[in-house]
Amino acid sequence: MSVIRVLSGRAWVWSFLGMFLVWLVTAVYTGGKGSADVITAALSFATFTVIVGIGQMFVITTGPGNVDLSIPSTIALSGAVAMKLMGSSNDMLAIGLAASLGCGLAVGIFNYLLIRVLRIPPIIATLSSSFLILSTAIAYGRGLKIKPPPMLAEFTTAQVGGVPILAIVIILFAILMSVVLNRTVYGRSVLAIGQNMRAAWLAGINVERIRFMTYVLSALLAAICGFLLSGFSGGASLNMGQEYLLASIAVVVIGGTSVAGGKANVPGIWGAAMFMFLLVTMLNTLGASAGIRLIMTGLIIVAVITIAGGDEPQR
Amino acid sequence: MTASDTNIVTLENVAKHFGAVRALDGVDLKVDAGECLGLVGHNGAGKSTLMHVLAGTLSPGAGSMGIRGHDLTGSYNVTAAGENGIRCVFQELSLCPNLTVAENARIFHPSLTGWGWKRRAGAMIRDKLDEIFPGHGIHADDVVGDLSIGKRQMVEIARAFTTTDTPLHLVILDEPTSSLDAHTSKQLLDFVRKAVGEGQSCILISHVLGEILTYSDRIVVMKDGLVVASRAGSDFTRDTLVAAMGNVVEMEEIKEREARDVNRDHAPLVIEARSDTGQDSVPFVAHKGEIVGLAGLASHGQTAMLLKIYDAAMRGRNTATVSGPVALVAGDRQTDGVFHLWSIARNIGVRSLRNMVRNGLIDPAAEAEMGREWQERIKIKAPDMNDNILSLSGGNQQKALFARALASDAEIILMDDPMRGVDVGTKLEVYDLIRAEAQKGRTFLWYTTEMDELYNCDHTYVFRDGAIVADLSRGDLSEEKVLQSSFKASA
Amino acid sequence: MRAYLTSPRFLRAALPAASFAILLAAIFYVQPRAMSYFGMNLMLQYTVPIALATIAQMFIITVNDLDLSIGPFVGLTACIGATLLADTPVLGLLALLACIAAYAALGALIHWRNLPSLVVTLGMSFVWLGIAVLILPTPGGTAPGWVKAIVGLKTPLVPFPIIAAIVIGIVVHVALMTSSYGAVLRGAGGNPRAIGRAGWSLLKIKMVMYAAAGFFGVLSGLSLIGLTSAADAHIADRYTLYAIAGVILGGGEFVGGRVSPIGAVIGAMTLTLTGSFLTFLKISPDWQIGAQGGILIIVLALRALINRREG
């Protein structure tokens, strides 16, 4: 009984348990054939979800109503801008990365201005800015078929003993962000604001500066994701960010972060991203059609929030 | 004549406790048909709780309730209140701001449906408004959110007096004139007399003693969750009423303390501010090392003054002069103070995060050390400072919030009525701590609704309607003077 | 009178219609030929499904929730319409009724467990899409004849989409803004505690609003296949964003139960027109959604300005 209580107190453990379970089922079904490759693939693809998931997590943790809907369009814009600037040349790599980060910074600042100056609810603010960003990306990257610089392509697809290099980098990054969340003034402030924005302000936290930094962080991570993703998939495409809107929110929720704010978990995002990918793989292996895979994904999100959501004190 | 014809409400020995707080501690109350009952008492005397019990929104923990001759103990609720024609006008408005006046009237009356309901609802509320507040200038299709606060209150009051299928017996009005001007207040009170003359009953809660004295048949005085006086209105004068409300049991220990030796002329000025009303009799000033009290009835601008000072200090605005870092001790723990997901130690440390950073990271050892140190100094009763803050009793939670402010680098501590619902032992401990810290040069601004606490202060500003109306030094302070300044002589 | 015309309340109410009128005037200025039966019909034909989806979203927003799944849900009903409803009408009808019931159940679940609607509807968007893919794995199917006939109606003088939009606006206005239960429904968005205190069931209110959203989602899907003839699971993915934008453009507010059905329909028409406007200006369609986002921001900025004057 006490084991269950401890586990339910640490919701992120479930995402790892789930991950392990679906992997096991897949491995048993295939008789262990290719089960290592499955892990490699899962690591590769989950990496990108984790990058944007971490940004989304910080945004969601600042409290109810905070969510960044502009992540997909930022991915598209950053990818398009970087690819076009670099023109498949290794020499331009640094400039391309800088341009990507510049896009992210601009998006983050713009989102925050809409929220702060026009007092638009964050959901609507990031939604309307995503329209503008996506259009810019479409117009800028029209007919874009530029290959990424070879170095970038290599870096994003390289493996060491079946483990993608990029995944290792992002695991290290996740550890770093976990430290930022729990051990820095910024992270503590985010957690405080998410529990009670008014109390945080009255406890001496500069609420507006923290929210600004959070929206900029989310946009920057989306931009980095766009940059790496276009290297990984051999060029930028305009709809490459699409799936990350739902995925970024889903991994945050499944990873044990509270939608009511104030409680966040970075490792859970890795677990959830792996779980989501492996779940689809498992259903694939079992011969489930695309429709069933989608339905299962959706039902799991609803089930997780129904079980986890009711216990949280919602305000 | 049966009992149900003459008697509307009979409460016997009704009690309601919130944790250690005895909001109602065995109250007897009778309301007869055709009676206007005035209910007075200082903040926290239990008036609001009593009213919620009568409205059916709170069920009492003990005692019996008789409504119109029927014993409804244990089965009384909002629906039963409605069926028995008992209505309540709460201080926090219960109108939907996005709906029109007529639509808000409809919400109250489930039977108002079918063709032409909007016209009927509109006519009903308009007629009642005309009857109570002639010349009110409110249209039935005005959206409530667009109305001034005074007009909203008029709508709310008029709605309570409208009837469709059940007859009205008792209307409870909680501070009904707080947002009304003198003219409309008189209209309302005259209407109340008229309604009472027609056999309806009314409970009137007001801090304007003149209203109570002039319009009540009987006056009930509450104090500390008890009814301490219940006599005919004509038996009271303003002075005897104030005396009946005052505290009998004084915390002699505090009162007898000598005024501290703080010389205003020598200590530097650290705060100078004015309220937004522009009607202050004196500006609000505080000198280094002073304990300054903010007194008066609840929510008459004291918290607004503290927040103004806080805001000016945090954002570097010049709306008030503040020299030195500030920290605030919240009074409403749940909405303004406690981080409910965090441990006690984290809740204490949150104001001092910057000082606990070593090599760019918060040092857990420093945080734990701060928790331990303050557990010791302020005597927080907890087995482990890593336990969740909500595992503490209210008084200990409040101590943690004090520790948060006192552990910080703040030179000025703002206190927003932090001792509400805290036991006497804790209070005395904290008082000593405050005086010791003030001696070391910290400045305290202390809003309190408890008279005794003001005896800790070197200076007390009394607030009424958002403005400062009196400035009392420690030597001049008396309960009488504070009450005299807090209550308007008449509307 | 002048005071009324410059009052924040009037300005707020007039903003959606004014933005629509300005956009329409600009189109007629750039392309006078658009000012014809045929031109209007062409420009506004997709108004009907978008307006219906917007109305669906509006019901959810009225009770302070948000539906991120309305697009895929419209896609699902379109797929049911183009397959089951066309082949076996009774089965199709039952399937559509089940969709509405599912929406009501979602409302109940969200109220019962006090869940964030954002995440629940996010999950459901996968579910709707999955079911749609099961029903119609590849784009295809055919819309029932009667659906096509209704949507393709050639009305005299005024094109059908405009008449349909007006009818939708008025019907919902009557139901939500003038009926006696409608007042209670909107009140639940404005001050739920007061509504509960007055003895109304908030659970029932949530279920009614979600069911209404489901109903209008079904209508949106059917009208959409009436225009396109065939369906596709992804046919309406963009509608989620359109519907939110339409409600906000139409003067609805995110919280507090302040919504306007007629405004929402006008908002949907404004969004539809934006695309045509850019075409007439010979601006690449790349900028279509950008322009929609821009209009959304401008209207919200104007509203913030009006509100600030009031505050």
Does residue A80 lie in a domain region? yes
- Cβ atoms of C246 and C54 within 8 Å: the answer is yes
Contacts of C242 in chain A (CB under 8 A): none
Main-chain phi, psi angles of C72, to 5 degrees: -60, -35
Q: Which of A66, A111, A124, A279 would best serve as a mutation to test chain C binding (most C beta carbons within 10 A)?
A: A124
Which of C284, C287, C293 lies nearest to residue A129, judging by beta carbons?
C293
CB–CB of B479/B471 below 8 Å?
A: no
Asked if residue C25 belongs to a domain, the reply is no
Within 8 A of B351 by CB-CB distance, chain A residues are 203-204
More confident residue, C91 or B183: C91
The answer for residues whose C-beta is within 8 angstroms of residue B185's C-beta and 6 or more apart is B177, B208, B211, B491
Whether C141 maps to a domain, the answer reads yes
Nearest in space to A26 (alpha carbons), one of A40, A36, A12: A36
Over residues A98-115, the pLDDT tens digits come to 999 999 999 999 999 999
Q: What is the CA radius of gyration of chain B?
A: 25
State how far Cα B158 lies from the chain centre: 24
pLDDT recorded at residue A6 = 54
DSSP β-bridge partners for residue C292: none
pLDDT > 60? residue A243: yes
Q: Say how far apart CA B447 and CA B336 lie, in whole Å.
A: 15
- C131·A121 Cβ contact <8 A: no
Please give the residue of chain C at the shortest CA–CA distance from A307.
Answer: C113
**What is the C-alpha to C-alpha distance for residues B110 and C195, in angstroms, rounded to an integer?**
11
Residues in chain C: 311
A313 within domain boundaries: no
What is the reported pLDDT for C217?
Answer: 97
Chain B interface test: which of A116, A175, A186, A202 (most B C-beta within 10 Å): A202
* Minimum CA–CA partner of C283 in chain A: A139
Q: First-to-last CA distance in chain C?
A: 21
| Least confident interval from A61-65, B174-178, B279-283, C237-241 | B174-178
The span from the CA of C66 to the CA of C121, in Å, is 8
Share of chain A above pLDDT 70, in %: 94
pLDDT given at position A139: 85
Averaged confidence pLDDT in chain B: 85
The residue range of the domain holding C99 is 32-304
pLDDT at B96: 92
Residues of A in contact with B337 (CB under 8 A): 199, 202-203
**Which of A142, A162, A167 lies closest to A228 in space, CA to CA?**
A167
Rounded Cα gap, residues B352 and A203, in angstroms = 9
Which of B334, B335, B339, B343 to substitute to test the interface with A, most A CBs within 10 Å? B339
The answer to whether position A312 is within a domain reads: no
pLDDT score of B7:
84
**pLDDT confidence tier of residue B424, bands split at 50, 70 and 90:** low
Q: Are B403 and B378 in contact (CB under 8 A)?
A: yes
CA distance C95 to chain A (A): 17
Model confidence band, residue B2 (pLDDT cutoffs 50, 70, 90): very low
User: Is B425's pLDDT higher than 50?
Assistant: yes
**Two tokens at C253?**
């507010």
Q: Residue A126's closest CA among A219, A244, A242?
A: A219
Measured over the CA atoms of residue A271, residue A275, residue A278 and residue A280, the dihedral's sign is negative
Contact present, A33 and A18 (Cβ < 8 Å): no
Minimum mean pLDDT range among A49-63, B273-287, C205-219: B273-287
B450: helix, coil or strand? coil
Q: Which candidate from A118, A305, A306 shows the least CB-CB separation from C300? A: A118
Is residue A222 a part of any domain in this protein?
yes
CB atoms within 10 A of CB B165: 8
Distances, alpha carbon B128 to alpha carbons B116, B167, B292, in Å: 19, 15, 47
d(CA B292, CA A28): 74
- Angle subtended at Cα B61 by Cα B55 and Cα B67, rounded to the nearest 5 degrees: 40
Residues B188-242 have pLDDT tens digits of 999 999 999 998 999 998 877 888 899 999 999 988 888 988 988 888 887 788 7
pLDDT of amino acid C177 = 93
CA distance C109 to chain A (A): 8
B108 → chain C, closest CA residue: C198
Structurally, chain C folds into a number of domains equal to 1
pLDDT given for residue B43 in this prediction? 63
pLDDT score of B111 more than 50: yes
Total domains in the fold of chain A? 1
Q: Are A55 and A219 in contact (CB under 8 A)?
A: yes
Q: What is the pLDDT of residue B5?
A: 62
The answer for residues whose C-beta is within 8 angstroms of residue B239's C-beta and 6 or more apart is none
Count of beta carbons in the 10 Å neighbourhood of residue B279: 13
Structure-token pair, residue C155: 């009305």
Instruction: Give the residue from chain A lying closest to B325, CA to CA.
Output: A204
**Cβ proximity of B241 and B443 under 8 Å:** no
Task: Indicate the helix (H) or strand (E) that contains B232.
Answer: strand B226-232
Question: Band of the pLDDT at B255, cuts 50, 70, 90?
Answer: low
Nearest partner of B412 among B382, B378, B446, judged by Cα: B446
Is C3 a domain residue? no
pLDDT tier, B363 (very low <50, low <70, confident <90, very high otherwise) = very high
Which comes out higher in pLDDT, residue B335 or A168?
A168
Q: Is A185 part of the contact surface with chain B (CB cutoff 8 Å)?
A: yes
Looking at the domain assignment, is residue C132 inside a domain?
A: yes
> Dmax of chain B from CA atoms?
84
Q: In what order do the strands lie in the sheet with B321-322?
A: B284-287, B269-273, B321-322
Interchain proximity C186–B99, CB inside 8 Å: yes
Q: What is the C-alpha separation between C265 and C268, in angstroms, rounded? A: 5
pLDDT-derived band at B170, boundaries 50, 70, 90: very high
Which residues of chain C fall short of a pLDDT of 70? Answer: 1-3, 310-311
Per-residue pLDDT tens over the stretch B439-489: 898 999 999 877 778 888 888 999 988 899 989 888 888 877 888 887 765
Residue A128 lies in a domain: yes
Per-residue confidence band for A5, with pLDDT thresholds at 50, 70 and 90: low
| Domain coverage including residue A125 | 13-25+35-307
In whole angstroms, give the CA distance from residue A268 to residue A271.
5
Chain C from 2 to 61: CB within 8 A of any B CB: 9
B231 CB neighbour count, 10 Å cutoff:
14
Strand, helix or coil at B88?
strand
- Distance between terminal CA atoms of chain A? 30
Which band of pLDDT confidence, cut at 50, 70 and 90, is reported for residue B265? low
- Examine the predicted complex and report whether its ipTM is higher than 0.90: no
Q: How far is CA B458 from the centre of its chain?
A: 24
Angle, alpha carbons B373-B374-B379 (nearest 5°) = 115
**Nearest CA-CA distance, residue A161 and chain C, Å:** 35
Report yes or no: B337 at the A interface, CB cutoff 8 Å: yes
Confirm if A100 and A226 have CB atoms less than 8 A apart.
yes
What confidence tens digit (pLDDT) does each residue in B233-244 have?
888 887 788 778
pLDDT of residue A8: 54
- Within 8 A by CB and 6+ apart from C97, the residues are none
Quote the minimal CA–CA distance from B173 to chain A in Å. Answer: 29
Q: Are C40 and C183 in contact (CB under 8 A)?
A: no
**Averaged over A15-27, what is the pLDDT?**
86
Per-residue confidence (pLDDT) for residue C2, from 0 to 100: 65
pLDDT at B418: 86
Phi, psi of B222 (to 5 degrees): -110, 150
Nearest CA of chain A to the CA of B337: how many Å?
A: 5
What pLDDT score was predicted for residue B248?
Answer: 42
The pLDDT assigned to A314 comes to 35
Instruction: Using alpha carbons, list the distances in angstroms from residue A141 to A77, A222, A259.
Output: 8, 17, 35
Q: How far is B109 from chain A (nearest CA, A)?
A: 29
Best of A68, A118, A249 to disrupt the C interface by mutation (most C CBs within 10 Å)? A118
- Evaluate whether residue A78 is within a structural domain: yes
Are the C-beta atoms of B45 and B224 separated by less than 8 Å? yes
Distance CA A254, CA A273 (A): 9
Distance in angstroms (rounded) separating the CA atoms of residues C270 and C23: 7
Using alpha carbons, select from B230, B155, B226 the residue that is nearest to residue B216.
B230
For chain A, what is the mean pLDDT? 88
The residue of A56, A67, A131, A238 whose CB has the most chain C CBs within 10 angstroms, and thus the best one to mutate to test that interface, is A131
Question: Residues 6 or more apart from B319 whose CB is under 8 A from it?
Answer: B273, B308, B311, B312
Q: Is the pLDDT of residue A304 over 50?
A: yes
What is the CATH number for A180? 1.10.3470
Q: Do C130 and A136 make contact, defined as CB atoms within 8 angstroms? A: no
Q: Which two tokens stand for residue C56?
A: 């669906």
Rg of chain C, C-alpha, whole Å: 19
- Statement: residue B1 has pLDDT above 50: no
In a domain, A49, yes or no: yes
Query: What is the CA B308 to chain-centroid distance, rounded?
Result: 20
Distance CA A192, CA A201 (A): 9
pTM for this predicted structure: 0.84
User: In whole angstroms, what is the distance from residue A28 CA to residue C215 CA?
Assistant: 44
The CA dihedral of B464, B466, B469, B472, to the nearest 10 degrees, is 90
Q: In C, which residues are within 8 Å of B94 by CB distance? A: 191, 193-194, 197-198
Rounded Cα distance, A144 and A80, in Å: 8
Three-state DSSP class for A255?
coil
Q: For residue A66, is it within any domain?
A: yes
Burial class, A6, CB count within 10 angstroms (exposed 0-12 / middle 13-18 / buried 19+): exposed
Interchain CB distance below 8 Å, A298 and C118: no
Q: Is C160 helix (H, G, I), strand (E, B) or coil?
A: helix
Specify the amino acid at residue B420: R
Half-sphere exposure in the Cβ direction for A268 (13 Å, CA): 23
Q: How far is CA B262 from CA B57, B192, B211, in A?
A: 49, 51, 41
Confidence at residue A312, expressed as pLDDT on a 0 to 100 scale? 44
Q: Which of A188, A196, A262 sits opposite B353 (nearest CB)?
A: A188
- What's the whole-number mean pLDDT along residues B402-414? 94
- H/E stretch holding C84 reads helix C84-87
B339, B361 Cβ separation under 8 angstroms: no
Q: How far is C50 from chain A (nearest CA, A)?
A: 17
Burial class (CB in 10 A: 0-12, 13-18, 19+), A288: middle
**Contact by Cβ (8 Å): A43, A168:** no
**Cα–Cα distance measured from residue C177 to residue C262, given in angstroms and rounded to the nearest whole number:** 10
Q: Strand locations in A58-187, DSSP E? A: 159-160, 163-164
Name every residue whose Cβ is closer than 8 Å to that of residue C106 and which is 6 or more positions away in sequence. C120, C121, C124, C210
What's the confidence (pLDDT) of residue B367? 92
Residue A39 has pLDDT above 50, yes or no: yes
Which 3 state secondary structure label does DSSP give A162?
Answer: coil
Length of chain B as a residue count: 491
